[in-house]
Amino acid sequence: MRAITVVGASLAGLYAARELRAQGFDGRLTVVGAEPHQPYDRPPLSKDFLMGAGDEGELGQLDQLALTDPEEMAELRAEWILGTRARALDVRGRTVVLDDGRTLASDGVVVATGARARRLPGPPLAGVHTLRGLDDALALRAELTRGPRRVVVIGGGFIGAETASSCVALGHDVTVVEAAPLPLAAQLGPELAPVCAGLHARGGARLLTGVGVAGLVGAGSGALSAVRAVELADGRSLPADVVVVGIGATPNTGWLAGSSLAVADGILCDDGCATALPQVVAVGDVARVGGVRAEHWTSATEQPRVAVRNLLAGRTVEAARPLPYFWSDQYGSRIQFAGRRGDGDTVRILEGSPEALGEGGFLAVYERAGRTTAALAVDRARSFMKVRRGLAAQENQAHQVNQAKEYV
């Protein structure tokens, strides 16, 4: 391959560029990113960065988000086209068309366009935010530093919960609205999801569950009217100065319309991140790898190694099977989860107690048929790490057995 284009200049895109060079690709490497910023890390945006923590000031904080440095940028020998969106990929996946009309002829393409925050329908109102990128975080942070506000967070998922936690820490009055009976039940299961609901109460945020949002009410004139309240489906109205909409993310696949790539809530890939076109691979939040779309930092950093290997080989020679892992920081507690939980798995508490969170957290495992399927820890990093390693080893073994079966 002589020319490879990476579309998306964030976590997965940068890791793909690194892997291309590390695996010996010596040709022309172009990275296209819609944002004007150099690659930065998103997880802190809803955590420390939102709280403006850190004594190094804003520049120090931006530096803390940076995923790379000038030295590495030079080593990568890539052309970075930032602040420019890719608009199309031709049918055979050989040409990337940019918003400014330029075309990039490529022998290989890595799609790493991630996902964007879902929004509520209706006209835009001042004071209503989503949180996906640096500019979102800066806008929200600016609003949160203007004195105490009534903040309503719509959605009790990880981003919603972390944002609520940061807003409480900044001294705001915070209500979280969650349509499901319990937040995070899909991720953590009905036995342990209440732990996270309990964190809101302990931290000092109101949590309203089992009720949807009917709409937002605005007031005032001018260019943009400002949000005043959140109307709930049951008729209640929550007064609000700031609303954060955290209702999930949609993969950025629109620009692929007209290419021959199959898209269904993400780009459909095989186990090795390869699309139906062998010269196109997809990684990170935008990729549905072997039927699963993971929206986690660790998948976005682990998939590129395998994706690049397969891209350079021209076919799938290796499967990407990272053990699912994510973490979240809420109300001073660190939550870590690894593995593949299934409904009906039994939960066993190995250390500490979910009821006494203030006193050192807990470690729980999920089990099915005598095997550990997943683990959840709150403030138990050390013991969590042991279980996570065990799970990874078990997964590798199962994979090897499966591969052996394929050959007989």
CB 75 within 8 A of CB 21: yes
DSSP letter (8 states) at residue 399? H
Position 222, amino acid: G
Q: Which is nearer to ligand FAD, 109 or 238 (by Cβ)?
A: 109
Beta bridge partners of 352: 362
Question: 4, 20, 31, 45: which one contacts ligand FAD (CB under 6 A)?
Answer: 45
Q: Which is nearer to another protein, 72 or 265 (by Cβ)?
A: 72
Check residue 311 for interaction with ligand FAD (CB under 6 A). no
Q: Which x/- pattern over 249-288 shows residues binding ligand FAD (rule: CB under 6 A)?
A: ---x--x----------------------------xxx--
Check residue 48 for interaction with ligand FAD (CB under 6 A). no
Question: 114, 157, 322, 324: which one contacts ligand FAD (CB under 6 A)?
Answer: 114
At 139, is the secondary structure helix, strand, or coil?
Answer: helix
Q: Of another protein, ligand FAD, none, which one sits near residue 389, judging by CB under 5 to 8 A according to partner kind?
A: another protein
Q: Of ligand FAD, another protein, none, which one sits near residue 382, judging by CB under 5 to 8 A according to partner kind?
A: another protein
Distance in Å, CB of 51 to another protein, minimum:
12
Helix axes 11-22, 297-313, angle to 10 degrees: 40
Question: 115, 192, 216, 311: which one contacts ligand FAD (CB under 6 A)?
Answer: 115
- Ordered DSSP codes for 330-395: ETTEEEEEEE---TT-EEEEEEE-TT-GGGT-EEEEEEETTEEEEEEEES-HHHHHHHHHHHHHHH
Alpha carbons 327 and 335: distance in angstroms, whole number: 5
Alpha carbons 259 and 389: distance in angstroms, whole number: 40
All residues at 6 or more sequence positions from 207 whose CB lies less than 8 Å from its CB, including other chains? 156, 175, 176, 178, 183, 197, 200, 201
Q: How many residues at the interface with ligand FAD, by CB under 6 A?
A: 37
Q: CA separation (Å) from 226 to 107, 216, 229, 358?
A: 49, 10, 10, 39
Check residue 128 for interaction with ligand FAD (CB under 6 A). no
At 326, is the secondary structure helix, strand, or coil?
Answer: strand
Q: Which is nearer to ligand FAD, 9 or 227 (by Cβ)?
A: 9
Applying CB under 8 A, the residues found at the interface with another protein are: 18, 41, 43-44, 48, 64, 67, 69, 72, 297-298, 301, 327, 329, 334, 336, 381-382, 384-386, 389
Question: 18, 200, 228, 296: which one contacts ligand FAD (CB under 6 A)?
Answer: 296
Beta bridge partners of 56: none
Check residue 141 for interaction with ligand FAD (CB under 6 A). no
Q: Reduced to 3 DSSP states, what percent helix, strand and coil does the chain have, rounded to the nearest 5?
A: 30, 30, 35
Check residue 300 for interaction with ligand FAD (CB under 6 A). yes
Q: Which is nearer to another protein, 206 or 334 (by Cβ)?
A: 334
**Where on the chain is the footprint of ligand FAD (CB under 6 A)?**
7-13, 32-35, 42-43, 45-46, 85-86, 112-115, 131-132, 159, 252, 255, 284-286, 295-298, 300, 326-328
